[in-house]
Structure 1
Amino acid sequence: MNKKLVLVVDDSAFMRKMISDIIHSSPYLEVIATARNGEDALKKVMELKPDVITLDVEMPLMDGISTLQEIMKKVPTPVVMLSSLTKSGADKTIEAMSYGAVDFIAKPSGSISLNIKDVESEIVQKVEHASRANYKLSINTSSSIQKKSYKPITSNRPIVAIGSSTGGPRALQQVITKLPAGFPSPVVIVQHMPKGFTKSLAERLDKLSNVTVKEVENGDLIENGKVYLAPGGSQFRVKEIHSRLYAEVKHEQPVNGHQPSVDVLFESIANVQDCHPLAVILTGMGSDGSNGMIHIKKRHPRTIAISQSKETCVVYGMPQAAEKTSLVDYVEDLENIGEVLVQKIRKKR
């Protein structure tokens, strides 16, 4: 068995040793080298051509963002970012995802995490998955959109629900930025992410988009033309009260390992009366969302189900699971999904 070769980049010798030891615990991975800063990393990437890189966000001389951009220009390679649980760390991590990082890991306690072993299984899993990811798609900034025509729905109460995981932040950016101001539907989203990082993602999407994007709060009124992103560490449900839709956000137990969970969000929409859901499953590991899609389709047979095509997924797990239900109406390249939503949900004249 050929092991995947890993380059570990961190300015702390302690962290380089800890992360290397954790990665060596996987039978599928081998640390080929370590680097102490971005400049050192670039030299070793060019020389050794690793299969996957772990890259610290905060480093001297050349920080993680600059290093990532150079890697993607010169030797595109799957990268997993390691970030501190700070506002600045979260903002930079979300920025890194937009530049092509496959995934990220939040250090439990700052730049030098003495308890890094607490996320040992997460590090191994994410580095293994990144080594197999369709990573070149995450750095492809130009692609030709195949113009298609989609018959608009006739309902007066559409609601768009989106689920995503690995590769999701960049995918969401491509979808949400296609929506026009005054989009005649609310959009509710679950992106698998820890607490703190979802707020940074919502803020970035809001700056880039024509629609308002926010990290949803308990009790928010769910309105047309606005996008509501589930906060990390909480479950997000849509509740109907006196014919109006509100957000219920609660810290609960994870569902199938996820909090927030796409299944939880989708199943809550299944319980909303007289609505026309459009359920979208984007790139991600696992199968979250497929059970929820079954519930929505059962309660609302007119639901439009859309999955991201294998060819445009960083990880084709969640869309594949959705397609296996035989309930998906459209399998679309990522670049087309925003346009599908715009054509399907048009303002009534």
Structure 2
Amino acid sequence: MTRILVVDDSHFMRTVITDILEDAGINVVAQASNGREAVTQVVEHDPDVVTMDVEMPEMNGIEAVEKIMNRHPVPIMMLSALTTEGADSTLDALDNGAVDFFAKPSGTISTDLSAHGEALVETVKSVAGSDPSAQQISSIESSRDTHDEEYAETPTLVIGASTGGPNVVESILEGLPRAPDFRILVVQHMPDQFTGRFAKRLDANSAYSVREAEDGARIGGGEALIAKGDYHMIVSNYRSGRLRVKLEQSEPVHSVRPAIDVTMKSVAETITDPVTGVVLTGMGSDGSAGVKAIDRIGSQILAQNEATSAVFGIPGRAIETGCVDEVLPVEDLVDGILRTVRVNT
């Protein structure tokens, strides 16, 4: 039975979360009202998962995550308000080692959380099966001097990720040199209140110009789009090295929107220049159909390996298709991406 520590400064929220989890057969072994108590309770109870509030007195959730990951690493799921401040704090917590997050539907004191109980339980279970050590990621840097390298013209890079993915995506975009002149599309399973902040965070730390996708957005070399939460991102047009996307709210695929498969399939159908597909950590099988489509056009596909994936669902299922060309640890992904577009001289 999965064992949970519930951390929230609101007694009401602790009770609601505990009731939801226990009704689903999950054992809540302890509760904590602030980050300081949480650090102590983790050592005492060694839970399978911690649900961690962000804003708390004495020690907030971000600080608590850092201390737990340094002292006694366990999988941590953040519970965040659907606000700009909540998104920024949650991304900070993910940087500190949290595996995933669940957005409270109506603010810090979310009185309607019970209506979203099934989704909360599903997220907790996915985090319970994750590897917290895989979240300790240093910035990836290319091991090669790229100034004298030659690359294929007008390449496109499409990246798909879910649970545990934000840190890996951020590390890749930080380490990716500007010289290959990629057009980059990123599909990270994330609510729409978070994808804009995620894009700004990536833009600040990357040599590429990164923004959240809008309907009709166009990008060329050196630019990246992050799929907007709750919308599928589809490449609708490609001409002279510039691609255009449209956003759709058609039915979720694999119960998610945006879906990796939708974007990758549209890339394979529309883009005629070199394409590199990358599938990263995450639960489920989203991306498997997409890598098949990319493989059919003769393009290359990389997958993150199991040892560095918080959850090996997405890359594992992609590898099972037989379409993945290389399986790499997170620290080798940038060099692997560059190999796919490097011109032999």
State the TM-score, normalized to the length of structure 2: 0.93
From 311, 329, 334, the equivalent of 2:330 is: 334
Q: Distance in 2 between matches of 1:107 and 1:82?
A: 6
Contact 1:168 1:283 in 2 (8 A): yes
From 214, 220, 225, the equivalent of 2:211 is: 214
1:93-108 paired onto structure 2 within 5 Å: 93-108=90-105
From 2, 10, 14, the equivalent of 1:4 is: 2
- For 2:5, what is the secondary structure of its paired residue? strand
Q: Are 2:44 and 1:44 aligned?
A: no
Q: CA deviation at 1:26?
A: 2.7
Q: Distance in 1 between matches of 2:218 and 2:127?
A: 37
Q: Deviations over 1:268-314 (max 9, x none)?
A: 1111252211010000000111111112222x12x011111111110
1:21-100 paired onto structure 2 within 5 Å: 21-27=19-25, 29-100=26-97
AA matched with 1:156: E
Q: CA deviation at 1:141?
A: 3.8
Q: Which runs of 5+ in 1 are unaligned?
A: none
- For 2:68, what is the secondary structure of its paired residue? helix
- The alignment of Structure 1 onto Structure 2 pairs a total of residues equal to 341
Q: CA deviation at 1:25?
A: 2.2
Q: Which residue of 2 aligns with 1:279?
A: 277
Q: Which residue of 2 aligns with 1:314?
A: 310
Contact 1:157 1:274 in 2 (8 A): no
Identity of aligned residues (%): 37
Q: Which runs of 5+ in 2 are unaligned?
A: none
AA matched with 1:215: E
Q: Deviations over 1:225-257 (max 9, x none)?
A: 112110101110112255441121223221221
Contact 2:302 2:337 in 1 (8 A): no
Q: Are 2:6 and 1:14 aligned?
A: no
Residues 183/74 of structure 1: CA separation in 2 closer, same or farther (3 Å cut): same
- For 2:307, what is the secondary structure of its paired residue? helix
Q: Distance in 2 between matches of 1:30 and 1:339?
A: 43
AA matched with 1:250: E
Q: Distance in 1 between matches of 2:23 and 2:218?
A: 47
Q: Are 2:326 and 1:325 aligned?
A: no
- Structure 1 residue ranges (4+ consecutive) displaced by more than 4 angstroms after TM superposition: 142-147, 152-155, 346-349
Q: CA deviation at 1:42?
A: 1.8
Q: Are 2:340 and 1:344 aligned?
A: yes
Considering only aligned residues, what root-mean-square deviation do their CA atoms show, in Å?
2.3
Q: CA deviation at 1:99?
A: 1.0
Q: Distance in 2 between matches of 1:282 and 1:208?
A: 20
- More displaced stretch, 100-109 vs 46-55: 46-55
AA matched with 2:189: H
AA matched with 2:316: Q
Residues 182/218 of structure 1: CA separation in 2 closer, same or farther (3 Å cut): farther
Q: Which residue of 2 aligns with 1:175?
A: 172
Q: Which residue of 2 aligns with 1:165?
A: 162
Residues 153/308 of structure 1: CA separation in 2 closer, same or farther (3 Å cut): farther
Q: Distance in 1 between matches of 2:137 and 2:302?
A: 22
